[in-house]
Structure 1
Amino acid sequence: MPHITVVYSGTVADAFDRPAFAKDLHETLVTVAGGRLQGCKTRFLRLEETWIADGSPYYAMIHAELALLAGRTAEVKRETTGAVLALLRRHTAVIPAVEVQFSVEWRDVDGDSYARHDEPKVTS
């Protein structure tokens, strides 16, 4: 934990620097939201088909969903989502004639219903 899912229009794939975004995102989640770096997991899902506004090909989107154990204050959530929004914008190059819509959502995960296991590394 935290678990992050980022969905993005395929039209922004070349403009969106996903590795740099993930690195900065994980650092932000540790420093702002109190996450554990070793627990940060980010999944990127490229959407080949999206319909935004009137369906024009001149719209694209990048949406990040942050899932963290419940218990953070509203202020921490606002600060974190604002920082993540800024990171999305920073790590996405401008695409001429395309309006990219960025969004971030925080989801609280109930600790009573979340389970995990860390498999130890096997060394030879």
Structure 2
Amino acid sequence: MPQITVDYSAELADGFDRPGFARALHEATVEIAGARQPACKTLFRPAEDTVVGPDGDGHAIVHVRVGLLAGRTEEAKATLAEAALELLRRHLKPREGVTLHASAEVEDLDASYRKFDGE
């Protein structure tokens, strides 16, 4: 924990500093939500096909989902979501002629969440 997933339009890949974004979001998650740095994990998933509105042309999407163990306040979760959006602004170069639709959410992991670390 935390489990961070970033879905993004594949055409953004060249201008998206994913390692820098992940490191900065891990730091924010530690600071805002009290997570442990070694436990932060981020998975990036490029999407080849995205559609926005009736035609979809000229648009790109980034959605950040942060899953945390239960116990954080709604205020802390909202603060972390805002921090994720601000970090996207710093780590994602705008593309000319492309409207970016960025969003973030911070959710409690389900009570069934389990994990293991191993080789």
Identity within the alignment, %: 45
Q: Which residue of 2 aligns with 1:62?
A: 62
Larger Rg over CA atoms: 1
3-state SS of the aligned residue for 2:15?
coil
Q: Which residue of 2 aligns with 1:47?
A: 47
Asked if the contact 2:16–2:91 (Cα under 8 Å) also holds between the matched residues in 1, the reply is: yes
Q: Which residue of 2 aligns with 1:79?
A: 79
Q: Partners of 1:10 and 1:18 in 2: how far apart?
A: 12
Aligned amino acid, residue 76 of structure 1: A
3-state SS of the aligned residue for 2:96?
coil
4+ residue segments displaced more than 4 Å: none
Q: Which residue of 2 aligns with 1:17?
A: 17
Paired residues in the alignment total 119
What is the 5 A alignment of 1:79-118? 79-110=79-110, 112-118=111-117
Q: Which residue of 1 aligns with 2:4?
A: 4
Q: Which residue of 2 aligns with 1:28?
A: 28
3-state SS of the aligned residue for 2:85?
helix
3-state SS of the aligned residue for 2:49?
coil
C-alpha offsets along residues 50-109 of structure 1, whole Å, 9 cap, x if unaligned? 111123320001000110001101110111110011001111111111001100011111
Q: Partners of 1:57 and 1:14 in 2: how far apart?
A: 19
Instruction: Extract unaligned runs of 5+ from structure 2.
Output: none
Q: Partners of 2:46 and 2:117 in 1: how far apart?
A: 28
Instruction: Extract unaligned runs of 5+ from structure 1.
Output: none
**Please, what TM-score do these two structures have when normalized by structure 1?**
0.90
Asked if the contact 2:8–2:46 (Cα under 8 Å) also holds between the matched residues in 1, the reply is: yes
Q: Partners of 2:38 and 2:15 in 1: how far apart?
A: 27
